[in-house]
């Protein structure tokens, strides 16, 4: 009940944030532009619209998660409202989880709006859409949940600007870390290869949530990859949330 109350309050605050609607406006503009670009481009227009559409939904969803998530805890500390909240029978873990789920509900609604607008645009052009598209959207939401937990973690001990930089770095590293796997295969056995393997294991691999290629080119999605990506996202998000709780528990507000 306490977590739900905090989540509801966080949701109400989030939907009043102007940044949210500014990003939503640019997301919709980008989705509309994908159709215009397809009409001006030589090639398979449906693939171009789908490619740009999924990329736009993912990008603006991540920006929403980062720009709003990094201020979740900092705003409460800056406005001194955290003292009032924590003086009540609410522990710090419940406070963080409430913030997390509140923003997650907001992102779910924003993702739903962007998806609905894109589906309308796509259907007006092609007249059909595959189930793989909705699978891809589901994994985009899973990625947003992970990014939100990361933004929340940095928000526990840093300012919004630094937290945004850290979270964005996490996102960028997560989408290029797969290159280390190729590098490891070419390296000779030794301490360097071992350390590189350790770094690769610890770094996030956000490409696990990227099914854009399969959707655009109508390629099969192996069940093993589907299940692995699902559990990877859930476990990694849970790990970051636990880490955020530990950091926030040690935070001194006196």
**How many domains does the chain fold into?**
1
10-53 pLDDT, tens digit per residue, is 888 888 888 888 888 888 888 888 777 776 676 677 888 888 88
Q: How far apart are CA 219 and CA 64, in angstroms?
A: 30
Q: What is the pLDDT of residue 87?
A: 67
pLDDT of 225-238, one tens digit each?
A: 889 999 999 999 99
Q: Secondary structure of the chain in the HEC alphabet?
A: CHHHHHHHHHHHHHCCCHHHHHHHHHHHHHHHHHHHHHHHCCCCHHHHHHHHHHHHHHHHHHHHHHHHHCCHHHHHHHCCHHHHHHHCCCCHHHHHHHHHHHHHHHHHHHHHHHHHHHHHHHHHHCCCCCHHHHHHHHHHHHHHHHHHHHHHHHHCCCCHHHHHHHHHHHHHHHHHCHHHHHHHHHCCCCHHHHHHHHHHHHCCCHHHHCCHHHHHCCCCCCHHHHHHHHHHHHHHHHHHHHHHHHHHHCCCCC
Decide if pLDDT at 254 tops 60: no
pTM score: 0.88
Residue 187 lies in a domain: no
Question: For the chain, what percent of residues have pLDDT higher than 90?
Answer: 24
Confidence grade of residue 95 (pLDDT, cut at 50, 70, 90):
confident
The segment with the largest mean pLDDT, out of 63-72, 122-131, 135-144, 169-178, is 135-144
Residue 203 within any structural domain of the chain: no
Q: Tell me if 195 is assigned to some domain.
A: no
Domain residue limits at 63:
2-172+210-249
Confidence of residue 86 (pLDDT cuts 50, 70, 90): low
The reply to whether 134 falls in a domain is yes
Question: Could you tell me if residue 102 is inside a domain?
Answer: yes
111 within domain boundaries: yes
Residue 113 maps to a domain: yes
Q: What percent of the chain has pLDDT over 70?
A: 90
Q: Look at residue 196 and tell me if it is in a domain.
A: no
């Amino acid at each position: 009940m306490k977590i739900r109350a905090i989540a509801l309050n966080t949701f109400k605050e989030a939907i009043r944030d102007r940044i949210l609607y500014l990003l939503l406006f640019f997301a919709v503009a980008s989705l509309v532009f994908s159709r215009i670009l397809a009409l001006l481009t030589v090639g398979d227009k449906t693939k171009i619209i789908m490619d740009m559409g999924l990329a736009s939904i993912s990008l603006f969803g991540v920006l929403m998660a980062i720009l709003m998530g990094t201020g979740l805890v900092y705003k409460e500390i800056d406005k001194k409202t955290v003292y009032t909240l924590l003086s009540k029978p609410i522990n710090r873990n419940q406070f963080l989880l409430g913030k997390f789920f509140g923003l997650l509900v907001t992102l779910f609604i924003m993702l739903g709006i962007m998806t609905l607008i894109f589906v309308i645009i796509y259907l007006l052009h092609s007249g059909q859409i595959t189930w793989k598209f909705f699978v891809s959207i589901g994994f985009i939401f899973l990625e947003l949940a992970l990014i939100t937990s990361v933004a929340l973690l940095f928000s526990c001990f840093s300012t919004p600007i630094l937290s945004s930089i850290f979270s964005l770095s996490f996102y960028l590293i997560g989408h290029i870390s797969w290159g280390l796997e190729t590098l490891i295969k070419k390296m000779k056995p030794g301490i360097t290869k071992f350390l590189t393997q350790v770094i690769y294991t610890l770094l996030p691999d956000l490409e696990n949530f990227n099914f854009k290629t399969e959707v655009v080119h109508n390629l099969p999605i192996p069940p093993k990859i589907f299940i692995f990506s699902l559990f990877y996202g859930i476990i990694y998000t849970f790990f970051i949330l636990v880490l955020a709780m530990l950091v926030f528990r040690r935070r001194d507000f006196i």
